[in-house]
């Protein structure tokens, strides 16, 4: 059985209701159904999640390290963009 | 009397889980891909957990697992069959997990000694069954070679499947109904996988399977020798 051509999948796990899916890692699988099952075995066997997403890694468009400066640098000196001027109500945990 | 019947039943079901767990564990370090190795190891660990509970009902789990002779094991001959290629492992899983899922669902719904264990295990086993069905579909309806290997495995293991539905003292299920449900389910999976349902006998004079009576096939001796070697060489050793 050759397996070198199994595509790569990115795995997103939602740990509980109310939180969003978070990237957990990646894995190889022959198709989406098996990617889900492999993700279940690799990333949720200690009770980490209640919902899983798998996405073909090839479907992700990522920013390039070369573009770091034009992409991210300009936001560093604009403090008015940061919502730090109001108080967070007590009891809000996942803001 | 109820105690001894229950012990016999716990041994039979416990040995099934223990032996299959060990067989699946043999894939560690050898599975076709890392992801599948983890999947098989997960299933093996589920089964080992079930075996520990069941064997503890029958006596001391370590003594039963490591110090019994071959003839004292009560597992089905199906579960002791060697891993062979991946297709054999998957078809063995398909045949056994489908049976175990139907059996545990029935036990969980009853009020017998095994109901609490079965209620917990039935969810694990539902996953094992799904895993085996998914793989059977892909091997059967995959490449020419995977189809051929899967068909070979279906044929080779078929004669061991009749044993699953013979009555076991203390396991209160309707074997005939279980068998009908099993045939329908496995038949449908094989059909969808473009595999042919084997025609060989599962019952009658040519059937194999006396594992429940302690008669095992050739490769089983080697398997338990490996399984028991460490414990026998270092009695009482602990981590």
pTM: 0.88
More confident residue, B14 or B169: B14
Reduce the DSSP state of residue A12 to 3 states and report it: strand
pLDDT digits (tens, 9 = 90+) for B70-129: 999 999 999 999 999 999 999 999 999 999 999 999 999 998 889 999 999 999 999 999
Measure CB to CB from residue A38 to each of B32, B35, B86 and give the nearest one: B35
Q: How confident is the model at residue A95 (pLDDT cuts 50, 70, 90)?
A: low
pLDDT-wise least confident of A22-31, B47-56, B230-239: B230-239
Mean pLDDT in residue range B164-183? 93
More confident residue, B200 or B156: B156
> Does the pLDDT of residue B176 top 60, yes or no?
yes
Residue B207 pLDDT: 58
Closest CA to B85 of B150, B35, B10: B150
User: If you classify domain B2-233 with CATH, what class do you get?
Assistant: mainly alpha
Q: Is A41 on the interface with B (CB under 8 A)?
A: yes
Q: Is A54 on the interface with B (CB under 8 A)?
A: no
What separation in angstroms does the CA of A16 have from each of A25, A37, A87, B33?
A: 18, 19, 26, 30
Mutate to test the interface with B, among A3, A7, A41, A47 (most CBs of B within 10 A): A41
Q: Is B196 on the interface with A (CB under 8 A)?
A: no
pLDDT-wise least confident of A78-87, B36-45, B95-104: A78-87
Residue A88 pLDDT: 80
Domain boundary assignment for chain B: 2-233
What separation in angstroms does the CA of B228 have from each of A49, B55, B65, B68, B76?
A: 37, 16, 8, 9, 19
Q: How confident is the model at residue A79 (pLDDT cuts 50, 70, 90)?
A: confident
Q: Is B226 on the interface with A (CB under 8 A)?
A: no
Question: Could you say which residues from 118 to 137 on chain B have a Cβ atom under 8 Å away from some Cβ of chain A?
Answer: 130-131, 134
CATH topology of domain A8-81: Ubiquitin-like (UB roll) (3.10.20)
B131 interaction partners in chain A (CB closer than 8 Å):
37
Q: How confident is the model at residue A46 (pLDDT cuts 50, 70, 90)?
A: confident
Q: Side-chain half-sphere of B19: how many Cα atoms within 13 Å? A: 32
Measure CB to CB from residue B38 to each of A3, A31, A41 and give the nearest one: A41
Measure CB to CB from residue A41 to each of B42, B86, B146 and give the nearest one: B42
> Does the pLDDT of residue B1 top 50, yes or no?
no
Q: Using only C-alpha atoms, what is the Rg of chain A?
A: 19
Domain boundary assignment for chain A: 8-81
Mean pLDDT in residue range A18-33? 94
> Does the pLDDT of residue B4 top 80, yes or no?
no
The 8-class DSSP code of residue A2 comes to -
Residue A8: strand pairing partners: A28
Provide the b/e sequence for B112-122 (b: ≥16 CB within 10 Å): bbbeebbeebb
Q: Is B24 on the interface with A (CB under 8 A)?
A: no
Mean pLDDT in residue range A33-39? 95
**A37, B134: Cβ pair inside 8 Å?**
yes
Measure CB to CB from residue B32 to each of A1, A27, A33 and give the nearest one: A1
B33 interaction partners in chain A (CB closer than 8 Å):
3, 6, 28
B42 interaction partners in chain A (CB closer than 8 Å):
41, 45
ipTM computed for the complex: 0.77
> Does the pLDDT of residue A94 top 90, yes or no?
no
Please give the mean pLDDT across all residues of chain B. Answer: 92
The 8-class DSSP code of residue A5 comes to T
**A41, B39: Cβ pair inside 8 Å?**
yes
Residue of B nearest to A38 (CA): B35
More confident residue, B4 or B21: B21
DSSP B94-106: HHHHHHHHHHHHH
> Does the pLDDT of residue B38 top 90, yes or no?
yes
CA–CA dist B124, A6 (Å, integer)? 27
CA–CA dist B134, B90 (Å, integer)? 10
Q: How confident is the model at residue A1 (pLDDT cuts 50, 70, 90)?
A: very low
pLDDT digits (tens, 9 = 90+) for B179-228: 999 999 999 999 999 999 998 777 655 556 689 999 999 999 999 999 99
Q: How many CB pairs under 8 A join A and B?
A: 31
Do residues B128 and B43 make contact, with C-beta atoms less than 8 angstroms apart?
yes
What is the sign of the dihedral through the CA atoms of B24, B25, B31 and B34? Answer: positive
% of chain B beyond a pLDDT of 70: 95
Q: Is A42 on the interface with B (CB under 8 A)?
A: yes
**B130, A37: Cβ pair inside 8 Å?**
yes
The 8-class DSSP code of residue B210 comes to B
CA–CA dist B23, B80 (Å, integer)? 7
**B131, A37: Cβ pair inside 8 Å?**
yes
Do residues B141 and B147 make contact, with C-beta atoms less than 8 angstroms apart?
yes
CA–CA dist B128, B218 (Å, integer)? 26
Mutate to test the interface with A, among B31, B32, B33 (most CBs of A within 10 A): B33
């Amino acid at each position: 059985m050759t397996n070198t051509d199994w595509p790569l999948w990115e795995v997103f796990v939602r740990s509980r209701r109310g939180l969003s899916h978070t990237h957990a890692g990646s894995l190889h699988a022959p198709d989406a159904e098996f990617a889900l099952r492999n993700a279940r075995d690799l990333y949720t066997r200690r009770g980490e999640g209640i919902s899983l997403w798998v996405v073909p890694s090839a479907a992700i468009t990522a920013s390039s390290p070369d573009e770091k400066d034009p992409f991210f640098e300009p936001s560093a000196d604009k403090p008015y963009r940061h919502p730090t001027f109001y108080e967070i109500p007590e009891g809000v945990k996942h803001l | 009397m109820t105690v001894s019947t229950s012990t016999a039943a716990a041994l039979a079901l416990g040995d099934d889980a223990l032996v299959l767990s060990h067989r699946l564990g043999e894939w560690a370090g050898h599975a076709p891909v890392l992801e599948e190795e983890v999947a098989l190891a997960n299933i093996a660990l589920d089964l080992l957990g079930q075996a520990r509970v069941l064997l503890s009902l029958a006596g001391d789990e370590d003594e039963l697992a490591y110090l019994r002779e071959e003839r004292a094991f009560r597992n089905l001959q199906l579960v002791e069959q060697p891993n062979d290629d991946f297709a054999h492992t998957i078809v063995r899983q398909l045949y056994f997990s489908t049976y175990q899922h139907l059996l545990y669902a029935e036990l969980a719904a009853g009020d017998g000694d095994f109901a609490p264990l079965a209620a917990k295990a039935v969810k694990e086993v539902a996953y094992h069954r799904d895993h085996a069905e998914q793989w059977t579909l892909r091997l059967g309806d995959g490449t020419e070679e995977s189809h051929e290997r899967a068909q070979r495995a279906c044929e080779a293991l078929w004669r061991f499947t009749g044993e699953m539905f013979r009555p076991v003292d203390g396991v209160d299920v309707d074997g005939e109904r279980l068998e009908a449900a099993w045939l329908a389910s496995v038949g449908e999976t094989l059909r969808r996988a473009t595999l042919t349902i084997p025609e060989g006998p599962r019952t009658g004079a040519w059937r194999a399977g006396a594992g429940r009576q302690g008669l095992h096939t050739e490769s089983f001796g080697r398997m338990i020798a490996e399984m028991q070697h460490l414990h026998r060489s270092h009695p009482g050793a602990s981590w």
